[in-house]
């Protein structure tokens, strides 16, 4: 299915004078972004999440935007890229959480789980899986994914002369970045209603992926 969009369509053009679009350096910077901005800038900055590691920063006026942009020494440790918002195309990426079922207990370590999750994108949050867990039947990894299809696949995990089939499925529901949580005057978090839906479209694939040796 294809939909042709009028070339004249340009969303959020009203932000051109007082917005910057940027890409944060990593997952930690994204989750802590609102607190970081409060520390490095005296201005009130509204954060709009675009997807992946991309955000749009809205300022009160053009002067505040320019002053912030000129303070590269401050924001360079947070953003790997930052520029004026002029309606440019941002790379389509999603942050997703993958649930991995079927890894045998003798292979259940972070390296194995991350190797599986890495088949679907860049691992940004390693499996939270330790010997203190009471449920050893699954693990969850965070992945920066370029696919818009919801992931539900099976991976063949080879160990010695055995092959184990691991089910990989994207967690249901939409992940809300912490940078969309407002901070009150005391620095405490309070939930905002301005939350974008970053979930992908439904998809269902069952192809078996033959992994390389880990």
Residues of the chain with CATH 3.30.70: 13-84
As beta bridge partners, residue 23 has 54, 81
Least confident of 26-35, 122-131, 177-186, 198-207: 198-207
Confidence of residue 179 (pLDDT cuts 50, 70, 90): confident
Q: Are 68 and 41 in contact (CB under 8 A)?
A: yes
Class of the domain covering 13-84: alpha beta
Q: Residues 21-52: pLDDT tens digits? A: 999 999 999 999 999 999 999 999 999 999 99
Tell me how far apart the alpha carbons of residues 55 and 123 are, in angstroms, rounded to a whole number. 20
Look at residue 60 and tell me whether its pLDDT is greater than 70: yes
pLDDT at 183 (0 to 100): 53
pTM: 0.78
Tokens of 45: 């900055």
Q: Residues 89-132: pLDDT tens digits? A: 888 899 999 999 999 999 999 999 999 999 999 999 998 766 67
pLDDT at 11 (0 to 100): 93
């Amino acid at each position: 299915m294809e939909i042709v969009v009028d070339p004249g369509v340009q969303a959020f053009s009203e932000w051109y004078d007082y917005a910057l679009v940027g890409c944060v350096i990593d997952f930690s910077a994204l989750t802590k972004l609102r607190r970081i901005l409060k520390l490095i800038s005296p201005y009130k900055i509204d954060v709009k999440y675009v997807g992946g590691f991309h955000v749009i920063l809205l300022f009160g006026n053009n002067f505040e935007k320019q002053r912030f942009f000129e303070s590269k020494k401050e924001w360079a440790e947070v953003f790997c890229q930052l520029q004026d918002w002029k309606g440019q195309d941002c790379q389509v990426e999603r942050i997703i959480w993958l649930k991995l079922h079927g890894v045998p207990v003798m292979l259940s370590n972070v390296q194995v789980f991350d190797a599986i999750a890495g088949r679907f994108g860049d691992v940004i949050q390693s499996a939270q899986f330790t010997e203190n867990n009471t449920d050893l039947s699954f693990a969850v990894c965070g992945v920066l994914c370029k696919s818009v299809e919801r992931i539900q696949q099976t991976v063949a995990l080879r160990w010695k002369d055995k092959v184990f089939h691991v089910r990989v499925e994207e967690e249901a529901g939409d992940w809300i970045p912490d940078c969309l949580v407002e901070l009150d005057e005391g620095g405490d978090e309070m939930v905002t209603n301005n939350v974008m839906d970053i979930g992908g479209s439904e998809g269902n694939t069952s192809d078996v992926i033959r992994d390389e040796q880990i």
